[in-house]
Structure 1
Protein backbone atom coordinates (compact mmCIF):
# COMPACT_ATOMS: atom_id res chain seq x y z
CA UNK A 1 0.00 0.00 0.00
CA UNK A 2 1.44 3.34 -1.07
CA UNK A 3 1.01 6.36 1.24
CA UNK A 4 -0.21 9.49 -0.55
CA UNK A 5 1.86 12.47 0.59
CA UNK A 6 1.47 16.20 -0.10
CA UNK A 7 4.81 16.16 -1.90
CA UNK A 8 7.93 14.07 -2.31
CA UNK A 9 9.86 16.35 0.03
CA UNK A 10 10.48 15.16 3.58
CA UNK A 11 11.22 18.32 5.56
CA UNK A 12 12.33 16.33 8.59
CA UNK A 13 15.57 15.42 6.78
CA UNK A 14 16.79 18.94 7.63
CA UNK A 15 16.41 21.48 10.42
CA UNK A 16 13.21 23.49 10.90
CA UNK A 17 12.88 26.53 8.64
CA UNK A 18 11.70 28.75 11.51
CA UNK A 19 12.78 29.09 15.16
CA UNK A 20 10.96 29.58 18.46
CA UNK A 21 9.99 33.21 18.91
CA UNK A 22 10.57 34.11 15.26
CA UNK A 23 8.10 36.59 13.77
CA UNK A 24 6.29 35.16 10.73
CA UNK A 25 3.54 36.18 8.30
CA UNK A 26 0.80 33.95 6.88
CA UNK A 27 0.99 33.39 3.13
CA UNK A 28 -2.61 32.16 3.01
CA UNK A 29 -5.99 32.39 4.66
CA UNK A 30 -6.57 29.51 7.07
CA UNK A 31 -10.04 28.19 7.86
CA UNK A 32 -11.07 25.84 10.64
CA UNK A 33 -11.03 22.25 9.43
CA UNK A 34 -12.88 21.12 12.54
CA UNK A 35 -9.84 20.81 14.79
CA UNK A 36 -9.98 24.32 16.30
CA UNK A 37 -12.26 24.30 19.36
CA UNK A 38 -14.98 26.91 19.73
CA UNK A 39 -15.19 27.77 16.02
CA UNK A 40 -17.38 26.37 13.28
CA UNK A 41 -15.89 24.44 10.37
CA UNK A 42 -14.99 26.94 7.67
CA UNK A 43 -14.57 29.92 10.00
CA UNK A 44 -11.52 32.03 9.16
CA UNK A 45 -8.80 31.69 11.80
CA UNK A 46 -5.96 33.53 10.04
CA UNK A 47 -6.04 35.89 7.08
CA UNK A 48 -3.31 36.15 4.47
CA UNK A 49 -0.81 38.69 5.76
CA UNK A 50 -1.55 38.20 9.48
CA UNK A 51 1.59 38.27 11.61
CA UNK A 52 2.46 36.07 14.56
CA UNK A 53 5.25 34.36 16.48
CA UNK A 54 6.39 30.72 16.41
CA UNK A 55 5.61 29.22 19.83
CA UNK A 56 6.10 25.52 19.11
CA UNK A 57 7.55 23.18 16.51
CA UNK A 58 6.11 19.72 15.99
CA UNK A 59 5.84 17.19 13.19
CA UNK A 60 3.08 15.74 11.03
CA UNK A 61 3.02 12.40 9.16
CA UNK A 62 6.74 11.95 9.83
CA UNK A 63 7.23 14.32 6.90
CA UNK A 64 6.51 17.96 7.78
CA UNK A 65 7.33 20.40 10.53
CA UNK A 66 4.22 22.02 11.96
CA UNK A 67 4.74 25.43 13.51
CA UNK A 68 2.42 26.56 16.28
CA UNK A 69 2.03 30.24 15.54
CA UNK A 70 0.52 32.67 18.03
CA UNK A 71 -1.36 35.32 16.07
CA UNK A 72 -1.49 37.89 18.86
CA UNK A 73 -3.87 40.33 17.13
CA UNK A 74 -6.69 37.77 16.92
CA UNK A 75 -5.72 35.66 19.93
CA UNK A 76 -5.42 32.37 18.03
CA UNK A 77 -2.62 29.82 18.04
CA UNK A 78 -2.72 27.88 14.78
CA UNK A 79 -0.58 25.02 13.43
CA UNK A 80 0.88 25.78 10.00
CA UNK A 81 3.32 24.24 7.52
CA UNK A 82 6.46 26.10 6.43
CA UNK A 83 5.08 26.69 2.94
CA UNK A 84 2.16 28.58 4.52
CA UNK A 85 4.50 31.02 6.29
CA UNK A 86 7.19 33.56 5.52
CA UNK A 87 9.81 34.78 7.96
CA UNK A 88 9.68 38.39 9.13
CA UNK A 89 12.89 38.33 11.13
CA UNK A 90 16.24 36.78 10.24
CA UNK A 91 17.42 33.56 11.86
CA UNK A 92 20.79 33.98 13.62
CA UNK A 93 21.29 37.38 12.00
CA UNK A 94 21.10 36.00 8.42
CA UNK A 95 19.42 38.15 5.78
CA UNK A 96 16.07 36.61 4.81
CA UNK A 97 15.21 39.22 2.22
CA UNK A 98 12.62 40.93 4.40
Structure 2
Protein backbone atom coordinates (compact mmCIF):
# COMPACT_ATOMS: atom_id res chain seq x y z
CA UNK A 1 0.00 0.00 0.00
CA UNK A 2 2.99 2.33 -0.11
CA UNK A 3 2.11 3.56 -3.60
CA UNK A 4 -1.16 5.23 -2.55
CA UNK A 5 -1.34 8.82 -3.75
CA UNK A 6 -2.88 11.19 -1.22
CA UNK A 7 -4.59 14.38 -2.27
CA UNK A 8 -3.49 17.63 -0.72
CA UNK A 9 -5.42 19.25 2.10
CA UNK A 10 -6.62 21.88 -0.36
CA UNK A 11 -10.37 22.22 -0.86
CA UNK A 12 -11.03 22.75 -4.57
CA UNK A 13 -14.60 23.86 -3.94
CA UNK A 14 -13.30 27.14 -2.53
CA UNK A 15 -12.92 28.29 -6.15
CA UNK A 16 -14.70 27.80 -9.48
CA UNK A 17 -14.32 24.56 -11.48
CA UNK A 18 -11.14 24.35 -13.59
CA UNK A 19 -13.08 23.10 -16.63
CA UNK A 20 -16.45 23.93 -18.17
CA UNK A 21 -19.24 21.94 -19.80
CA UNK A 22 -18.32 20.99 -23.35
CA UNK A 23 -14.63 21.79 -22.92
CA UNK A 24 -12.24 19.42 -24.66
CA UNK A 25 -9.77 17.83 -22.23
CA UNK A 26 -6.96 15.24 -22.27
CA UNK A 27 -6.15 12.63 -19.64
CA UNK A 28 -2.78 13.22 -17.94
CA UNK A 29 -2.72 9.67 -16.56
CA UNK A 30 -3.86 6.13 -17.18
CA UNK A 31 -7.12 5.74 -15.24
CA UNK A 32 -8.15 2.35 -13.85
CA UNK A 33 -11.46 1.26 -12.40
CA UNK A 34 -11.53 1.83 -8.65
CA UNK A 35 -14.74 -0.17 -8.37
CA UNK A 36 -17.11 2.65 -9.27
CA UNK A 37 -17.34 1.97 -13.02
CA UNK A 38 -20.05 -0.63 -13.74
CA UNK A 39 -19.35 -3.58 -16.01
CA UNK A 40 -15.57 -3.53 -15.54
CA UNK A 41 -13.36 -5.30 -13.02
CA UNK A 42 -11.45 -3.35 -10.40
CA UNK A 43 -8.10 -2.39 -11.92
CA UNK A 44 -9.28 -2.55 -15.55
CA UNK A 45 -7.93 0.30 -17.68
CA UNK A 46 -10.69 2.81 -18.46
CA UNK A 47 -8.77 5.72 -19.99
CA UNK A 48 -5.27 5.83 -21.43
CA UNK A 49 -2.90 8.72 -20.87
CA UNK A 50 -3.46 11.13 -23.76
CA UNK A 51 -7.06 10.12 -24.49
CA UNK A 52 -9.24 13.13 -25.30
CA UNK A 53 -12.84 13.77 -24.37
CA UNK A 54 -15.40 16.40 -23.45
CA UNK A 55 -16.64 17.53 -20.05
CA UNK A 56 -20.32 16.53 -19.85
CA UNK A 57 -20.94 16.99 -16.12
CA UNK A 58 -19.42 18.64 -13.07
CA UNK A 59 -20.07 17.24 -9.62
CA UNK A 60 -18.36 17.12 -6.25
CA UNK A 61 -16.78 14.47 -4.04
CA UNK A 62 -16.46 14.61 -0.25
CA UNK A 63 -17.38 18.29 -0.33
CA UNK A 64 -13.76 18.97 -1.30
CA UNK A 65 -13.13 18.14 -4.97
CA UNK A 66 -14.75 18.72 -8.31
CA UNK A 67 -15.37 15.57 -10.29
CA UNK A 68 -15.64 16.04 -14.03
CA UNK A 69 -17.71 13.57 -16.03
CA UNK A 70 -15.72 13.23 -19.23
CA UNK A 71 -17.12 11.58 -22.35
CA UNK A 72 -14.25 9.80 -24.09
CA UNK A 73 -16.04 9.36 -27.39
CA UNK A 74 -13.46 7.12 -29.11
CA UNK A 75 -13.34 4.77 -26.08
CA UNK A 76 -17.13 4.88 -25.72
CA UNK A 77 -16.95 5.70 -22.01
CA UNK A 78 -17.99 8.42 -19.61
CA UNK A 79 -15.57 8.51 -16.70
CA UNK A 80 -15.51 10.66 -13.58
CA UNK A 81 -12.12 12.33 -13.14
CA UNK A 82 -10.45 14.82 -10.81
CA UNK A 83 -9.10 18.08 -12.17
CA UNK A 84 -5.49 17.04 -11.52
CA UNK A 85 -6.02 14.09 -13.88
CA UNK A 86 -6.96 16.37 -16.79
CA UNK A 87 -5.45 19.08 -18.94
CA UNK A 88 -7.31 21.43 -21.28
CA UNK A 89 -6.95 20.77 -25.01
CA UNK A 90 -8.70 23.97 -25.99
CA UNK A 91 -9.65 26.99 -23.89
CA UNK A 92 -13.09 27.20 -22.36
CA UNK A 93 -15.61 29.39 -24.13
CA UNK A 94 -17.07 31.59 -21.41
CA UNK A 95 -20.53 32.96 -22.10
CA UNK A 96 -21.02 36.68 -21.75
CA UNK A 97 -17.31 37.52 -22.02
SS of the residue aligned with 1:83? helix
The answer to whether residue 63 in structure 2 is matched with residue 62 in structure 1 is yes
Inter-partner Cα distance in structure 1 for 2:68 and 2:28: 14
SS of the residue aligned with 2:46? strand
Shift of 1:63: 0.6
Instruction: Describe how 1:45-56 pairs up with structure 2 within 5 A.
Output: 45-56=46-57
SS of the residue aligned with 2:54? strand
The answer to whether residue 12 in structure 2 is matched with residue 11 in structure 1 is yes
Counterpart of 1:23? 24
Q: 4+ residue stretches of structure 1 with deviation over 3 A?
A: none
String of CA shifts for 1:31-54, please: whole Å, max 9, x gaps.
111111111111100000000000
RMSD (Å) for aligned C-alpha atoms = 1.2
TM-score by length of 1: 0.86
| Count of aligned residue pairs for this structure pair | 89
Q: Which segments of 5 or more consecutive residues in structure 2 lack a partner in the other structure? A: 1-5
TM-score by length of 2: 0.87
